[in-house]
Structure 1
Amino acid sequence: MLSIQRRNTKEAPQECTPNLLPCRIDHDGPVNASRRYWAPEHDKDGNLEAYFRGRKLKGREVTLPEGYKGVVVKEAATEDETQQRNTERLRRRQLEEQDMDEDDEDGEEEVKMLEEVANFKEFIVWGHEAVADEDDAFVKGVEEWIGFAAAMHAPGIDAENEKKPGT
C-alpha cells in the first residue's frame, strides 16, 4: 500500500510541469540543466519543439481535468520510520477490527510512505519528430481513463434494478 504525505504542511507544494521524454535515462538524481541544453519553444504550428542530445522532439501539452492534480513524489522515510508507521497503522487497524474473526486476519501489510515534492495541473508528452497521438498511454490515461472511471463510479445506476436487454 502507498501513503502520500506532504513534505511541509505549512507551505503549499511547489508547482511544476513534468516532461515525459521518449527515452530511458539511467539517472534518478538532481540535474543542473541549463537553458542551453533544454529550451522548448513553440513552432509555427503552435506545437512545442525541443532538441535533446541532437534529436528533434515534438511535445503535446496534456491538461488534467478539473478536480484532479498530479503529484511528484519521492520515498519519504527511512526503513525504521516506515516500519514504525506500519506498526502503528496495524495496531489502529486491529483495534478497529476487533469484531472480526481471528482466522480472517491478513498478515502485516507494508505501507510505503511517499513524500509530495511538487504538484502539477499539466504535463508534456514528447515524441520523436512527431506530436504524441491519441493512442499514447499517458494521453489516453488522462483523456480517456479518467472519464471512464468517473462514469463507472457515478451515482444513479443500480445494477439490481437496471433493465436487462430483452425484458
Structure 2
Amino acid sequence: MSIKLKLNITDVETSLTDKPKLHYIPATIRGDGPAKVNQYFDTYTEKLEDKTFVNGLRGFPLRGKQMELPTGYCGVIFQETQKPLSTEENRNFTFAGAFKQFTYWNYDKIPSKNDPLVKALSWMELAQVLHNPLPLHDENGSIEKGE
C-alpha cells in the first residue's frame, strides 16, 4: 500500500492568506463530513479576560487558547475523498487547507506548557536552535561567520 499526497505550493500560499478557523479538540467524533461549527460551537465560545476561551462539547467543559505555530512553519490539512476497500489498496489524500494558528482546547483546564501538544510545538523551535551551525573562531578568538 502507498499513500499519495496531492499538494501544490501555490495552493498552500493562497490558503494561508484565507486564514481558516481551526480547532484542536480532545475528543473522538465518529463522523466525517461538514459540521455547523459557526452555528453550534462558535456562537457559544466565550473569551475571558486572560485571553483564554470557555465552551462545552457534549456536556464536557472546555478551556481553550489561541496557539501560533513557530516562525517558519505552517500546518497543512489533507482530506481523503475515497476510502479504500482494503488495507492493500493505495490511498490518495488531497490538499484541503493550510494554517499558521489554531485554537487548542483542553477539558476543564487552561492549556499550559505541560500539555503534550504545546511541548511538541516548543520542541520544533528548540530543535531548530540545536541544529543551527555554530560560528567558527579564528586564531585571535574572534568569531567568523560559518557556512
TM-score by length of 1: 0.60
What is the alpha-carbon distance in structure 1 between the residues aligned to residue 119 and residue 4 of structure 2?
24
More strand by share: 2
Q: For this pair of structures, how many residues does the alignment match?
A: 126
Kindly report which structure 2 residues correspond to 1:65-104, keeping only aligned pairs within 5 A, or say none.
65-75=70-80
Structure 1 gap segments, 5+ residues each:
80-110, 159-167
The aligned counterpart of 1:48 is: 53
Structure of higher RCO (CA pairs closer than 8 Å, 6+ residues apart): 1
What are the Cα deviations for residues 37-95 of structure 1, in whole angstroms up to 9, with x where unaligned?
4432202333111122232211021111221111111237898xxxxxxxxxxxxxxxx
What is the alpha-carbon distance in structure 2 between the residues aligned to residue 60 and residue 154 of structure 1?
30
Aligned sequence identity (%): 24
Shift of residue 6, structure 1, vs aligned partner? 3.1
What are the Cα deviations for residues 16-55 of structure 1, in whole angstroms up to 9, with x where unaligned?
1321112211112222334244432202333111122232
Question: SS at 2:125's partner residue?
Answer: helix
What is the alpha-carbon distance in structure 2 between the residues aligned to residue 36 and residue 15 of structure 1?
20
Q: Please tell me whether Structure 1 or Structure 2 has the larger radius of gyration of its CA atoms.
A: 1
The aligned counterpart of 2:129 is: 151
